[in-house]
Amino acid sequence: MELCPLIKNILLLDSEGNRVAVKYYSDDWPTNSAKEAFEKTVFTKTQKTSARNEAEITMFDNYVVVYKFVQDLHFFVTGGENENEIILASVLQGFFDAVGLILRGTVDKREVLENLDLIFLCLDEIVDGGIVLETDANVIAGKVASHSMDDGASLSEQTITQALATARERLTRSLLA
Amino acid sequence: MVYVMIKELSPSADEVIIVTSSLMKDMTSKTDMYRANAIRVLCRITDGTLLTQIERYLKQAIVDKNPVVASAALVSGIHLLQTNPEIVKRWSNEVQEAVQSRAALVQFHALALLHQVRQNDRLAVNKLVSSLTRGSVRSPIAQCLLIRYTSQVIRESANNTQTGDRPFYDFLEGCLRHKAEMVIFEAARAITELNGVTSRELTPAITVLQLFLSSFKPVLRFAAVRTLNKVAMTHPMAVTNCNIDMESLISDQNRSIATLAITTLLKTGNESSVDRLMKQITNFMSDIADEFKIVVVEAIRSLCLKFPLKHRSLMNFLSNILREEGGFEYKKAIVDSIVILIRDIPEAKETGLLHLCEFIEDCEFTYLSTQILHFLGIEGPKTSDPSKYIRYIYNRMHLENATVWAGAVSTLAKFGAMVDGLKPHVFVLLRRCLFDTDEVRDRATLYLNTLGGDGAVVETGADVKEFLFGSLDIPLMNLENSLKNYEPSEKPFDISSVPKEVKIQPLAEKKAPGKKPTGLGAPPPSPSSTVDAYEKLLSSIPEFANFGKLFKSSPPVELTEAETEYAVNVVKHIFDGHVVFQYNCTNTIPEQLLENVIVIVDASEAEEFAEVASKPLRSLPYDSPGQTFVAFQKPDGVPAVGKFSNMLRFIVKEVDPSTGVAEDDGVEDEYQLEDLEVVAADYMLKVGVSNFRNAWESMGADFERVDEYGLGPRDSLAEAVNAVVDLLGMQPCEGTEVVSPNSRSHTCLLSGVYIGNVKVLVRLQFGLDGPKDVAMKLAVRSEDETVSDAIHEIVASG
């Protein structure tokens, strides 16, 4: 019996509803098209509301979605209909603040895309297979930082890292174009 | 980053030995981050064999000082529990140690893992919960988890509820005062979800939820409103204190919150607040989406049923919103609500019907118009002044489309048939229709002729009414099939020959009238083809062909236990003067072939039966079922009962499984089967009625028999109800076979058709007399008093 609080997915969409970074932890959406349909539904249902100061919440289709908007990004955390909404909200807050710390304050779509790897690391550190790993933003950011710091230990490696970073950036831009 | 990638790809362990070995090295490296992530990745891609190798490291990791590593190992353990539970269970000691850890989230993960491991052992869970509720739990999320486990323990120890307070209730109440909001909310929710919770226990939880209602965080407001909504369904009185806060929530920005607030208020409102609520809701309805509106409409309907005196304002409200814009589902919900209100609140009938009439003037959905017209036809004639509605109906005949015209004509005719004073007027209108389009003209002609269009104000015969307006209880599919199979010949089409699954109501021997809208009753269920098949099967056997019409076939009754060599079940076919047992046999032994299979039936305990014929089964090879029949004669029309013992007799031949060829000579053998009973319930066909009350009234009390019986001590009320229903073999109507738990009395409505085509209706009232004794009052109405007596006989002897 699953009494453990489970997260079904975490979504990061842009202001038009396109994907920026998403991670699914449940089998409710087996195909990619199902996932995209879900993202579209969530986006249209929350488009008209404003969730900039406080986390907002809505419910549909037996899912509870907690969400927050900043600049041109929309953060969503989804749980089952009987989930404790406040736990979902704390996960959302943790993710939101951690992203803010990682990107050093400027949270908008461009910055996120440039540091997409860090965002994915962040997602990985918050929830593992649906179970909440960590909700404290400082701890999460610390873990992400220690990951990325190891990549660039010596000077020469840093250059390589920079080159890799530029290559990654170009790749993501071309994917989105 | 690499770790994330490997997890995504998640190859199987034998493909990537290099990866796994380097990961294993990482697991023992000095950097904690590497260790943690390596553990998580390895556990994702590992299988059983690899797991045993790394188990040692995992155990060490669980009790590692670094919380990140420990959490990683524990979470991986939780995931691994799905695939390799035995291995994970061996780590209980380490996990137990981790539960005592100082790091907040390690405790959380350890608790989750420990509970999963031990969840089948109730005592262990109990111990775990008690030790932790007394100890300190460090993170709010672990506290939430503990609360959930506690409620599970409470639920499982539900037998002790009589002995005062529940265990751990104080712990839950204490959690209501915790610092973290998630804990407070989880505790409040857990209290409200306790089984059979009392208002005293609910009060502290509701107070806390009330505070949340006025929080500035939408998440808290939403959570609180949703929980209060659930509570309001079972304990509306407890929630009334929060009404004032909820009324302010109606204008909340977040529409989900507003809708939930409205529906809760509608459930907990009292009569005085209804008017105020209605005013507020009117402004609110224009803002919300269709699906929310449907929820609100249904809540209003239940409110109106609770407070019938307020029907006027609620009905006005419903008709106002009916006039506004809206989708089909939404308008249908409103129309259904109005119809239910009209049916259940007699005072509201006139206003309700008028509202519906005004609506059809403007309705864009044909389905709804026809439904309403049909409903008008049923209810309109019973009102005090039916002529009011004629104008509306007649208007429909010239506007809209063909389906609506047809419905309108039928309704007009119904008015004419039911209300004699209106007949001449109706005839004038119908005659005008004779020059109209097809559907209208044909129907008008039919009605004019059958209702006596010569203008005389004559009481319309009951059977004519029945013919024209009785419900067509034969499933349309069956009728269609029969009509297709009917070949034009001397004999007119006999409607009673159409197999009827739902009801046996022989209409007059004419072609049935055309399609009527099925109205607002439940549509008949789709026919199963078994009855058809049985009939065909039996009529194809010459010995049984002259038994007459098949009355009933029972469902198959097993005569052998599962997994025996020969599986036999029997179907009892009841005719007027005969009973045929069809034995379906299956041979489950591949090395045997059975031939000349017959069943020897010993009817010594069934005096009224005499064996007349039997049809053996030529050959029964492995795994292909066959049938053999035995027919008995019984006195005509008498529901004879008896017990029959059966023995399967056959010639068995050995079969060579490789070639499939049987030997030439075989051995005669017998196989004992279980006994078979023909009981009174076999003579009763389960036929449901959609509206029991109407059928009861129309049956009349001429052949009513009422009697009371004590059923003695029973296991439960539900068990007694089921036993009597099974004994009588009749169909429970309107869901009355479901007995709500903890109720002390129950009324069950049954209907059926007895042999000889006699309709029978039974009303059973059960009551719990003392702790276990059940008393029952049986009222039977039927078309024949011998049948009513027979029903009582069945119960008295059963």
Enclosing H/E stretch for B749: strand B745-754
Report CB contact under 8 Å: A1, B219: no
Report CB contact under 8 Å: A1, B181: no
Interface ipTM > 0.95: no
Biggest CA pair distance of chain A: 52
Is A51 exposed, middle or buried, given 0-12, 13-18 or 19+ CB atoms closer than 10 A?
buried
Q: Do residues B40 and A128 lie in contact, with contact meaning Cβ atoms separated by under 8 Å?
A: yes
What integer pLDDT is reported at residue B513 of this predicted model?
35
Q: Which of A54, A59, A117 lies nearest to residue B217, judging by beta carbons?
A: A54
Integer Cα distance of A109 and A173 in angstroms: 12
Residues of A whose CB is below 8 A from B75: 128-129, 131, 133
What integer pLDDT is reported at residue B482 of this predicted model?
65
CB pairs under 8 A between A and B: 101
What is the b/e burial string over B150-189, where b = at least 16 CB atoms within 10 angstroms of the residue's CB? Answer: bbbbbeeeeeeeeeeebbbbebbbebbebebbbbbbbbbb
What integer pLDDT is reported at residue B528 of this predicted model?
38
Strand-pair category, B592-605 with B617-620: antiparallel
Which residue in chain B is spatially nearest to A117 when comparing CA positions? B1
Q: Which residues is B117 bridged to in the sheet?
A: none
**A149 touching B (Cβ < 8 Å):** no
Low-confidence ranges of chain B (pLDDT < 50): 12-13, 161-164, 453-459, 473, 500-529
Give me the amino acid identity at B468: L
Residues of B whose CB is below 8 A from A79: none
Q: Extract the tokens encoding B323.
A: 């006039």
- Nearest Cα residue to B378 out of B355, B410, B405, B401: B410
Integer Cα distance of B516 and B472 in angstroms: 9
Q: Which residues is A58 bridged to in the sheet?
A: A65
What integer pLDDT is reported at residue A79 of this predicted model?
87
Report CB contact under 8 Å: B115, A3: yes
Enclosing H/E stretch for B449: helix B438-450
Give me the amino acid identity at A129: G
Integer Cα distance of B226 and B277 in angstroms: 19
Q: What is the dihedral of CA B494, B497, B498, B502, to 10 degrees?
A: 120
Q: Extract the tokens encoding B792.
A: 């009582």
Q: Which of A59, A84, A151 lies nearest to residue B182, judging by beta carbons?
A: A84
Q: Which of A84, A85, A124 lies nearest to residue B4, judging by beta carbons?
A: A124
Integer Cα distance of B754 and B639 in angstroms: 9
Q: What's the residue count for chain A? A: 177
Residues of A whose CB is below 8 A from B258: none
pTM, two decimal places: 0.56
Contact residues for A30 (Cβ-Cβ < 8 A; gap 6+): none
**A159 touching B (Cβ < 8 Å):** no
Integer Cα distance of A26 and A30 in angstroms: 9
Integer Cα distance of B99 and B113 in angstroms: 10
Q: List phi, psi (to 5°) of A4.
A: -75, 140
**A81 touching B (Cβ < 8 Å):** no
Cβ-based neighbour number of residue B655 at 10 Å: 18
Residues of B whose CB is below 8 A from A4: 78, 112, 116, 145
What integer pLDDT is reported at residue B456 of this predicted model?
43
What integer pLDDT is reported at residue B47 of this predicted model?
63
What average pLDDT values come out for chain A (177 residues) when binned by 10 residues?
Answer: 74 85 83 87 81 79 84 86 83 86 81 83 81 81 69 42 68 72
**Residues of B engaging A, defined by a Cβ cutoff of 8 Å:** 1, 3-4, 7, 31, 33, 40, 68, 71-72, 75-76, 78-79, 105, 108-109, 112, 115-116, 119, 141, 144-145, 148-149, 152, 181-182, 185-186, 189, 216-220, 222-223, 226, 253-254, 256
Residues 14-33 of A with CB under 8 A from B: none
Best A26, A68, A84, A92 member to test B by mutation, with max B CBs in 10 Å, is A84
Strands, E, within B277-385: which ranges?
none
Q: Extract the tokens encoding B108.
A: 């959380």
Question: What DSSP line would sit under B450-495, residue for residue?
Answer: HTTTTS---PPPHHHHHHHHS---S-HHHHHHHHHHPPP-SSPP-G
Is B458 exposed, middle or buried, given 0-12, 13-18 or 19+ CB atoms closer than 10 A?
exposed
Residues of A whose CB is below 8 A from B219: 54-57, 66, 85-86, 88-89
Contact residues for B367 (Cβ-Cβ < 8 A; gap 6+): B328, B332
- Nearest Cα residue to B443 out of B412, B488, B465, B420: B412
Map tokens 């209909």 to a residue.
A81
Q: Which residues is B670 bridged to in the sheet?
A: B649
